[in-house]
Structure 1
Amino acid sequence: MSAEAVKGAGGNLLLNKFFQTILLSNVLLQIGIWVRNFAILMYVTDKTNADEFAISLMGFVEFLPIFVFSFIGGTFADRWKPRLTMIWCDFLSALSVFIVLITLLYGSWHMVYLATFVSAILSQFSQPSAMKLFKQHIPEEQLQSAMAMFQSLIAIFMVLGPSLGVISYQKFGIEVSIGVMGVAFLLSAVVLFRIPRDREVERTEAGAEQRFVQDLKDGFAYVWRSPVLKSLGGTFALAGTAVGIAHTLGLFIVLERLEQPKEFLQYILMVNGVAMLVGGGLVMAIAKKVPPQKLLALGIFLSSVCMVGIGLSTSVPLTLVLQFISGLGFPLIQIGISTMILQWSEESYIGRVNGVLSPMFMGMMVIMTLVAGQLKSVFPLVGIYSAAGGIMFLGMLLLIPLFKHKPLVAGAEG
């Protein structure tokens, strides 16, 4: 993604100090996250001899905190200074990782789950704070382009990340891999000091507990009043159900349907990542021409079709092609969702809107990560993936009535 392409999309985002900083911070976070995801997955798989429950538990400890803390994190994101919130979250993530490393050296291997658990909790305070900063520092006409470029960076790590995690684990072991995670999170916290200082947050006379409960209620009411955000919540729930199944059982597609070793999963995700990079570039090209709700619908449609195909396929080439097509749709989904939340929410409500909608997705995802392993013991993978694709398709249908809606202007309600 070139600077010229960004400039053509509404101004040179790469000259924006905030955008430069958030990209650099995200590079460091992605290194830590991908080393965490794959090094720990390989470690747990080796330790448990590919036990279905142990592998699904990895997804559970990652997504349960997201569901539980998303409401709280989103509400506090609207009350706290977002820059300082992000810095503290990265610093505490690094601290928790180093504590896990020490206990791993002297205690039980099960402590690796804690690194994922704590990081997932803190992300629920950091992520909505980042959304608020995007709203503050990126001009409205550049939001979708900024999200496309941000998603392209994530796509690059979808290509590089799996191999980074696997190589780190195979060459250096779990201890060094966890150390890399901690250093990456710590450096991200340092980089975030470059972001301009936060605005002063308004203080109220009401007690903290009373104010928090009222803010939480206001967030739910705000989403309920908006037909766009309300429908988006339904789509989130259906998509979370489908993605929870596919995310948890992806390793078994490799082991059973394709009859490949567990390490082959990294190549599937690399293909997916290349496609995401291409898809992010396509969104940059059409960002000002296609509304985000149509981008989201198209991305979900592609994912639903490919999900069914991946479940049916026993051919490595066909599965890789389907993963590529699915990867093209993923940036459409992520950019569409992020842009819709930013465009249909007032700045003072962004954290709470994110906190209300994310659990719709994550809640179902948490349930399915825990249930998927049990479903697999009863139903064939083909049937499970076909059902997941059908559920994803229903989520796309909910978006069709939103095609006629226009974004918020001048603080009006959705």
Structure 2
Amino acid sequence: MQSVHVLRHPNLRRMLTANLLSGIGDWFNSVAVLSLLMELTSGAMAVGITLALRTLPHLLFGPLGGVLADRWDKKKVMIFCDFARALLALSFLLISSADDIWLVYLGTFSLVAFSSLYQPSRLSILPHLVEPEELATANALDQSVYGMVMAIGSLIGGIFIALWGTEAAFVYNSLSFLLSGILIMRLAFPRPDRSCPSPSTPQASYRDVIAFAAHTPIVRSILLMTALWPIGGGIINVLISVYAYQVFQAGEMGIGLFYGAIGVGFILGGLAADRFAKKLYKTSFWSLSLEGVALILTSMAPTIYVAAVCYALSTIAGGIGNASLRTLLMQHVRSDYQGRVFALEATVSNVLIGLSMLAGGWLLSFAEPRLVGFAAGTCVTLFSVVIGWSLWRASRKSVVRKLGSA
């Protein structure tokens, strides 16, 4: 299997392990923070503020993370961010009463801020850990790790906190960042490190990067897709808990079932993505369209178990599509622009998801959940079909131009 072959690279194994450890720590921290807020405040306002603070730092620090990724040593940026997060994660241990809630807000904002600085370097360093022909498989494995984090976090996060308490979760989160930083320190590049441009190379500005993306049809289509998907995707995120509680009356068990199904879907989607590495354009078009169709079917599911299967199917397709789009970006964006392109993608996506979640909460205050879910799934499907088709056409034109210039 190609994924097993790619894992022969120790650098990739270290990176994926670091992602797994810190991702599970993040999940444990999120569950622990929400549990602590409900225990200390018994109100939804503090929860809403905390969730909002998980979005705002992407807007403020995401673009800076892109600049650091393109102009600084990516490895050093990631190590610094990991060790900073290891210290910040321990700040939650100081919370003992409702008067300390400001520490929750400050700690949450700071953790996400450093994550925003970390992510562009993490994504743009991946092409330097494997051979070019292995890039699609590496992205597929990265997608599977994301699914493992979600599946493990949803299945045992609540159990872990119930057995050992929120303080143990905060300590684990700190240790996970510490271990991640140590693993990143061990990254070594057998080939000349291409992660930073030569000092003699003129430094491009964000305006240059945006102009490049706007005038490169394939890159433009991918970024447009990642900007439009959150319009429906954020509402889908809100509906997970609404379906569990209001539609199927399954409570926390239903939420765990749905997140577990979503995580398993990402794992399977990532494992399957490398099988389509030679047909990335067609794969991204069909898989993302099928994701939207599966979300529509979720809104019509007669039982919670059928809904969970539909969620799993949607993320299998979405995992394949996301891995394909990410690989295409890495192939078509020049090395010294990748950090800022990924930063722009993440910033726009996270901000729009946050706004979409707010809109979803407002819609659900007067509209039936299944109807809202059907509308959100339809949006995802339509955007995927239209943008996916334009991406497919851009790829065909690119092939024609290459043949004409040959």
TM-score normalized by structure 2? 0.88
| Secondary structure of the corresponding residue to residue 183 of structure 1 | helix
Aligned residues: 394
Return the alpha-carbon distance in structure 2 between the equivalents of residues 404 and 195 of structure 1: 39
Deviation at 1:255, TM superposition (A): 0.6
For residues 35-74 of structure 1, the C-alpha deviation after alignment (integer angstroms, 9 at most, x for no partner) is 12333344445556573x5555444222222233222211
| Letter in structure 1 aligned against 2:340 | R
- Which residue of structure 2 lines up, in the alignment, with residue 29 of structure 1? 22
Deviation at 1:224, TM superposition (A): 1.0
- Which residue of structure 2 lines up, in the alignment, with residue 132 of structure 1? 124
- Which residue of structure 2 lines up, in the alignment, with residue 224 of structure 1? 214
Q: Which of the residues 366, 370, 383 maps onto 1:395?
A: 383
| Letter in structure 2 aligned against 1:167 | I
Return the alpha-carbon distance in structure 2 between the equivalents of residues 105 and 19 of structure 1: 43
Deviation at 1:177, TM superposition (A): 1.2
Return the alpha-carbon distance in structure 2 between the equivalents of residues 32 and 167 of structure 1: 14
Deviation at 1:362, TM superposition (A): 1.8
Task: Map residues 15-414 of structure 1 onto 2, 5 A cutoff.
Answer: 15-45=8-38, 51=44, 54-104=46-96, 107-109=99-101, 111-196=103-188, 202-203=198-199, 215-288=205-278, 290-291=279-280, 293-313=281-301, 315-396=303-384, 397-406=386-395
Deviation at 1:257, TM superposition (A): 0.6
Return the alpha-carbon distance in structure 2 between the equivalents of residues 233 and 403 of structure 1: 14
Question: Does structure 1 retain, via aligned residues, the 8 Å contact 2:232–2:380?
Answer: yes
Return the alpha-carbon distance in structure 2 between the equivalents of residues 383 and 157 of structure 1: 30
Structure 1 gap ranges (5+): none
| Secondary structure of the corresponding residue to residue 78 of structure 1 | helix
Return the alpha-carbon distance in structure 2 between the equivalents of residues 50 and 294 of structure 1: 47
Question: Does structure 1 retain, via aligned residues, the 8 Å contact 2:135–2:327?
Answer: yes
Question: Does structure 2 retain, via aligned residues, the 8 Å contact 1:300–1:395?
Answer: no
| Secondary structure of the corresponding residue to residue 259 of structure 1 | coil
Return the alpha-carbon distance in structure 1 between the equivalents of residues 41 and 313 of structure 2: 33
Of 182-191 and 296-305, more deviation after overlay is shown by: 296-305
Structure 2 gap ranges (5+): none
| Secondary structure of the corresponding residue to residue 249 of structure 2 | coil
| Secondary structure of the corresponding residue to residue 398 of structure 1 | helix
- Which residue of structure 2 lines up, in the alignment, with residue 6 of structure 1? 3
* Residues 1:92 and 1:107: Cα distance change in structure 2 (over 3 Å): farther
Return the alpha-carbon distance in structure 2 between the equivalents of residues 109 and 272 of structure 1: 31
RMSD (Å) for aligned C-alpha atoms: 2.7
Identity %: 23
Deviation at 1:186, TM superposition (A): 1.2
| Secondary structure of the corresponding residue to residue 370 of structure 2 | helix
Detail structure 1 runs of 4+ shifted over 3 Å in the superposition.
Answer: 41-51, 53-59, 103-107, 109-116, 197-206, 404-409
For residues 216-272 of structure 1, the C-alpha deviation after alignment (integer angstroms, 9 at most, x for no partner) is 211111111111121222212221111111113321111101111224311211122
| Secondary structure of the corresponding residue to residue 287 of structure 1 | helix
For residues 91-132 of structure 1, the C-alpha deviation after alignment (integer angstroms, 9 at most, x for no partner) is 111111112322457952453344432222212221211222
